[in-house]
Structure 1
Amino acid sequence: MSLKGKTAIITGSNSGIGLGVARELARAGADVVLNSFTDRDEDHALAAEIGAEFGVTARYIKADMSKAAECRALVEQAGSCDILVNNAGIQHVAPIDEFPTEKWDAIIAINMSSAFHTTAVALPMMRKAGWGRVVNIASAHGLTASPFKSAYVAAKHGVVGLTKVTALETAEEPITCNAICPGYVLTPLVEAQIPDTMEKYNMGREEVIKKVMLERQPSREFATVEQLGGTTVFLCSEAATQITGTTISVDGGWTAL
């Protein structure tokens, strides 16, 4: 499908899943706004590269997703928002009784509250345009849980709840809201962890991926950022007009267990 003429804002999109989603939306013809909390030359250069590669307008806007005002300013500065992809996220692992308060607050703010703030500003723009798509990147941990990830699991469950409310509030309008729930995804961050994990378990690359890293993912294969981008593009298509308020798992069967 063509998303030509649409503007997509993707939070946390100068690497990993967000960048993969931005590239696939640009491939489909959407103008894209990339975002992260840094403001480096390479951030703006990345946007320029995407714009040149796909023949779209691509911009980079700095905004710290832990700060409500900056979340809202991101959408306002973009000027228009037909497609909003709430992707920004961080992680910390610790038992509940040892979990640092500041880490809890940061994860809730970036992984969950940011989606509320960006959506609140984007919805009036979508209503004015007469069309809109909100895609929240949740997680398999938005549907299930793992020990030592209390803040992340709580935030991602919250994102799924926010998705449902957004969908109900826009149900009679040409706006949809859905959540994509990835399992383990092969991002540069995950790729960088493979050598150390191989050394720790004294295993080869394929063995450590299948037996250790993807122990909970029945397919024993990583999802890719391109697959998540393709799922996002599908949710923006006419075929997905009546898909709203739900989750789409891209987790190799994890939540089927």
Structure 2
Amino acid sequence: MSLNGKIAIVTGAAGGIGSAISRELHAQGASVAIADLRADAAKHLAEELNTLRPGSAIAVGVDISSTEDAAAAVDAVRSGLGEVDILVNNAGIDKIERFTDSTPDSWRKIIDVNLLGTITMTRAVLDPMLERGSGRLINIASDAGRVGSSGEVVYSATKGGVIAFTKALAREVAAKGVTSNCICPGPTDTALLGQVAEFSEKLYQGLSRAIPMRRIGQPVDIAPAVAFLAGDGAAFITGQTLSVSGGLTMN
């Protein structure tokens, strides 16, 4: 499998799963735009990748909840690397709390980033993909969007929305050579999982015991699945939801 010559944007790319995805796509030959709200962290990762292959990565500071910011970020990628072949919508936020303790302000922030941010970034890259007759849209949802998760009610709703968005868009763009797929990580060792442990150690331990492979996932467990969906070997796969969860959820 090779992504030589391909140009990818990864959102939330400076975080745990995002950085693993960025490194994997880069290792497969893609040039990668490290898109993240934390511009300094994005710059650091881009510099790391450029030491391996000069000129193959750029950092883009972006707030994906802003339509204007998302459009400007995509324009920056086009200027810095070229036209986008692969979009990985990975950026996401959450606040672990019971729904009855949550607030409308919290709901809006989670929805704006997780769902509307995914929609906004997708729209910003889509037209040239359709014109060229090729493109890969890969959305990082969550098994919480498939089965629900205590303490993550609105988060689960947004991830369920991302899954539905992925499938519906796949139907619209399939004939144009653009694929749209979704990856649902299970419990993965990230800052978000740390919030779960702080919220309820019992819940965290229960998640660990429930995974048939008897371990929490690592960001590097997610990245190869993204690289596969980005490559030529997945050209006839679209509208699919793949759980990477150590068997916690099974279709």
Could you tell me the TM-score, scaled by structure 1's length?
0.87
Counterparts of residues 139-154 of structure 1 (less than 5 Å): 139-154=142-157
CA, structure 1 residues 171+130, in 2 after alignment: closer, same or farther (shift >3 Å)? closer
Structure 1 residue aligned with 2:28: 28
- Indicate yes or no: 2:229 matched with 1:229: no
Flag as ranges the 4+ runs of structure 1 deviating above 6 A: 191-194
Q: Which of 189, 199, 205 is the aligned partner of 1:186?
A: 189
Q: Distance in 1 between matches of 2:22 and 2:56?
A: 12
Q: Which residue of 2 aligns with 1:13?
A: 13
List aligned pairs for 1:147-186, cutoff 5 A.
147-186=150-189
Counterpart of 2:91? 88
Q: Is the 8 A contact 1:86 1:115 kept in 2?
A: yes
Q: Which residue of 2 aligns with 1:68?
A: 67
**Alpha-carbon distance, 1:129 to partner:** 3.3
Q: What is the rounded CA distance, in whole Å, between the counterparts of 1:192 and 1:156 in structure 2?
A: 17
- Following superposition, the deviation at residue 142 of structure 1 comes to 1.6
In the alignment, the residues of structure 2 paired with residue 52 and residue 252 of structure 1 have an alpha-carbon distance, to the nearest angstrom, of: 33
1: distance between equivalents of 2:104 and 2:195? Answer: 28
Aligned partners of 1:193, 1:169: CA distance in 2, in Å?
A: 37
Cα distance in 1 for partners of 2:54, 2:215 equals 33
> 1:219 is aligned with what amino acid?
M
Residues 162 and 192 of structure 1: CA distance in aligned 2, closer, same or farther (over 3 Å): closer
Contact 1:27/1:54 (8 A) holds in 2: no
Q: Give the residue type in structure 2 aligned to 1:87.
A: N
- My pick for the range that moved more, 96-105 or 4-13, is 96-105
1:220 pairs, out of 204, 208, 214, with 214
Q: Distance in 1 between matches of 2:65 and 2:208?
A: 30
1:253 is matched with 247
Q: Is structure 2 residue 58 aligned with structure 1 residue 59?
A: yes
SS at match of 1:3: coil
Aligned residues of 2:13 and 2:42 also touching (Cα < 8 A): no
Q: Which runs of 5+ in 2 are unaligned?
A: none
Which residue does 1:204 correspond to in 2? none
Q: CA deviation at 1:130?
A: 3.0
CA–CA distance in structure 2, aligned partners of residues 152 and 189 of structure 1: 11
In the TM superposition, residue 223 of structure 1 has moved relative to its aligned partner by: 2.2
Aligned with 2:147: secondary structure? coil
Identity level (%): 34
The one-letter code matched in structure 1 to 2:13 is S
Count of aligned pairs: 247
Distance change in 2, residues 1:170/1:148 (3 Å):
same
User: Bigger CA drift: 169-178 or 46-55?
Assistant: 46-55
Could you list the runs of 5+ residues in structure 1 that have no partner in the other structure?
A: 202-207
TM-superposed CA distance for 1:237, in Å, is 2.0
Q: Distance in 1 between matches of 2:68 and 2:154?
A: 22
Q: Shift in Å at residue 122 of structure 1?
A: 0.9
CA deviation after TM superposition for structure 1 residue 217, in Å: 2.1
Change (3 A) 1:193 1:162: closer
CA distance in 2, matches of 1:44, 1:132: 26
Amino acid corresponding to residue 18 of structure 2 in structure 1: G
| 2-structure distance, mates of 1:233, 1:24 | 7
Give the Cα–Cα distance (whole angstroms) in 2 for the partners of residues 129 and 227 of structure 1: 32
Out of 114, 135, 139, which is 2:138 matched to? 135
Deviations 1:45-82 (A, max 9, x none): 32011122245510011111222221232222211210
The aligned counterpart of 2:4 is: 4
Cα distance between partner residues in 1 of 2:15 and 2:56? 18
Letter in 2 for 1:47: A
